[in-house]
Structure 1
Amino acid sequence: MRLALFMPSFGDGGVERMLVNLAGGLVERGVQVDFLTRSRKVPYLDRLDARVRLIETGKSGRLSVQPAMCRYLREARPDFVLCGKDRAAQAALLARRLSGVPFELVMRPGTTVSERVARRGFIKRWRAFRLIRSTYGSAAAVVGNSEGVVRDVQMIAELPDARMHLIRNPVVTPDLAAQAAEPVEHPWFALGEPPVIVGVGGLRTQKGFDTLLRAFAQVRAQRACRLLILGEGRLREELQDLARELDVAEDFALPGFDQNPYRFVARAGLFVLASRWEGSPNALTEALGLGAPVVATDCPSGPREILAGGTVAPLVPVDDVAALAAAMNQVLDNPGDAQKRRAAVAEYTVETCAARYHALFEKILWERR
């Protein structure tokens, strides 16, 4: 069995990390895995299993990537091409027509699509949904990472139950604990310093870091603590301005993107997910896997499933500053059971997820025969 993981446009987000993890899990099971992306000089690829063949396409646009993609398809003739982003799938489908190589497309949507496009105008939403129906309708299987994502995509793409599958994100890796044990030189984590509240993610509207910052200001008014957000994005200046406006700038830090956020999360007094929407939030799952105390918004989709309706850790309404601040204070006072948090994400191991993808691929091949 040969699988191509096709991610021509590669960033520093959760989809990219999950595909790198999945590649390693599948090659361990004997699948021949090729990883196609524009350049090897991007985050996370240094963690790619040495048995995975890394292929640079040199281009990432739907049309510009075609020569490299068609050449690869004719040479390797993969059974499957798995895409984590819609634009990659559109490029792959075009390459299938141009090359004549009949691979099976598998889609892996990583977020709640309806929430992602909800703020667009009517015409743009209609175009987005129309494109999703066309792209996902051409897939042999669609794999959502949470029940909410599966329901959302199925509703938009109008797909039958048989084409929809739920497989969790391969988040809890064998080396997660080792990465978390690496040293942290930031002075806030020195012995005797106030607890550090940590957030992880791109500095964009989806992640709700403005709400987290406002809630932090309320918590900071009652106790000594600090807020550190690991990530980069276009809202950096806005968040810094808001911190000054709230008079908490001295206790707020934006160190930027870090390839190993786990060493910070493992030492945090509290990890907070303040997102407005997600698919299945990897940062929250990783924090739980490390046993860190957490608070999360009850956003679509994922946190409610991961936190078992709030029995594992507090869930608060999206954009409710007072509720978030109250939950943060509660967990700082009483962090709860770390072992219970670790047990909540037992289904999110690389081994479990790779086994389920492998079984799905075998089923599709058997049905094709």
Structure 2
Amino acid sequence: MKKKKVLFFIYQMGAGGAARTMLNIVNHLDRNRFTPVLVTLNYEGSYEKYLNEDVKFIKLHTRRLRSAIIPLSKIIRKEKVDLVFSTIPNYNIVAILARLLSFTKAKNIVREAAFLGGSRSANLKLRFVGLLYKFSSRVISLSNGVKENIIKRYRVPSEKITVIYNPVDLKVIQQNIEGGQIEEEHRHIFNGTGNVIITAGRLVPDKDHKTLLKAFSMIQQQLEAKLVILGEGELEAQLKKQAKELNIEDKVFFLGFMTNPYIYFTHADLFVLSSLREGFGHVLAEALAAGVPIVSTKCKPGAVEVLEEGKYGKLCEIGNPKDMSEKIYQVLTLQDHEKDYLVQRGLSRALQFDAQEIVKQYEDVFVDCLEVKQRLASRS
């Protein structure tokens, strides 16, 4: 197969999981077989600086998603793209329409990262999205649970869906741990006495930090601990108010978004994920790679799959602060050799998400779609 050009389309290279996944795929793509082109809307993204220098990066002159269809179609034609890869339903719709309007022989591959739907209106929208997905060559799902949801709510045939877990750049994580430092103003948190519990994620309802704060307040009655929260979001003021009402404000530290959260992970005693739902739970894989024990809610499908029903970390009930506090206490009071065993198992699990291996799976899907295209062209 001749070297092929793959266009990657995403809203922006921001701090979210979708952008991080796109970054890992683009940077690790085999340059002997593929030439990557990255296209975003006109936004500044925190991950842009981590793109490899050989990646052609194009920003559209618009911040409106609907306005991106025509200019994106022109880029597909101008760049002579063979494959258009996108993620998240709204962006996938734009990518499919742009590819159709390009009037080229390019193919679409779309990725689904979240467990969406539930309400009648949401399910109807997903059904419409599923109809558009008929114009894509393949749908990539980031977990088996998400795949089941796509089949059920999008009505996409099972044979069109390939499950590929999120890629985690283990090499970069290790480099960040070895070469990074906790910022000076935060060192007192980790150098003092007591256990350090850490979490990371956007401060939004789905992450359910409220339950975590309640669970942490219960832990305070049993042992000395501090809670570090990494991330930004709409609920920050509300969560700080809750911490004050629970009388734990001097033990809870809101540190905001960190470009190197891994050095914080590795110096913590425990990582906790309190989410209501996760399509994959990328941060869990990163925490495993950083060598920190984990307590997570049974947020399906992601956390349950990443931790294999509790094999690689403790699982607790969603929205249940008492159960969460009990699981946190169990891990923090483990003997050293028990903690080491848990950490080593986690590291072995993280290897299965290594970007080098995961991107090969993406490449196999790309090649398969392109070879199908070539076989069809040869018959015509």
Q: Does 1:68 align with 2:65?
A: no
Q: CA deviation at 1:260?
A: 1.4
Quick one: distance in 2 between partners of 1:190 and 1:111? 34
Q: CA deviation at 1:19?
A: 0.5
Q: CA deviation at 1:331?
A: 0.8
Unaligned stretches of 5+ residues in structure 1: none
Q: Does 1:180 align with 2:183?
A: no
Q: CA deviation at 1:59?
A: 1.6
Quick one: distance in 2 between partners of 1:253 and 1:92? 40
Unaligned stretches of 5+ residues in structure 2: 376-380
Amino acid at match of 2:27: G
2:292 paired residue number:
292
2:140 to 140, 143, 151: 143
Where do residues 134-283 of structure 1 align in structure 2 (5 Å cutoff)? 134-181=131-178, 182-184=180-182, 185=184, 186-283=186-283
Contact 1:5 1:82 in 2 (8 A): yes
TM-score, normalised to structure 1, is: 0.94
Quick one: distance in 2 between partners of 1:343 and 1:145? 20
* Structure 1 residues 131 and 6: alpha-carbon distance in aligned structure 2, compared to 1, 3 A threshold: same
1:125 paired residue number:
122
Segment of structure 1 superposing worse, 245-254 or 169-178: 169-178
2:378 paired residue number:
none
1:102 paired residue number:
105
**CA root-mean-square deviation:** 1.6
Contact 2:177 2:266 in 1 (8 A): yes
Quick one: distance in 1 between partners of 2:253 and 2:324? 19
* Structure 1 residues 331 and 144: alpha-carbon distance in aligned structure 2, compared to 1, 3 A threshold: same
Q: Does 1:361 align with 2:359?
A: no
Quick one: distance in 1 between partners of 2:181 and 2:297? 30
Quick one: distance in 1 between partners of 2:241 and 2:22? 35
Q: CA deviation at 1:63?
A: 3.1
Q: CA deviation at 1:228?
A: 1.1
Quick one: distance in 2 between partners of 1:81 and 1:168? 19
Local SS of the residue matching 1:32: strand
Quick one: distance in 2 between partners of 1:23 and 1:219? 42
Q: CA deviation at 1:224?
A: 1.1
Number of equivalent positions? 363
Local SS of the residue matching 2:162: strand
Contact 1:143 1:164 in 2 (8 A): yes
Deviations 1:171-214 (A, max 9, x none): 13311111123100213444343221111110011111111111
Segment of structure 1 superposing worse, 140-149 or 37-46: 37-46
* Fraction of identical pairs, as percent: 26
Quick one: distance in 1 between partners of 2:17 and 2:90? 16
TM-score, normalised to structure 2, is: 0.91
Q: CA deviation at 1:67?
A: 4.1
Contact 1:188 1:196 in 2 (8 A): no
Contact 1:195 1:269 in 2 (8 A): yes
Quick one: distance in 1 between partners of 2:126 and 2:172? 38
Deviations 1:44-73 (A, max 9, x none): 111111121111113242332234312211
Q: Does 1:38 align with 2:41?
A: yes
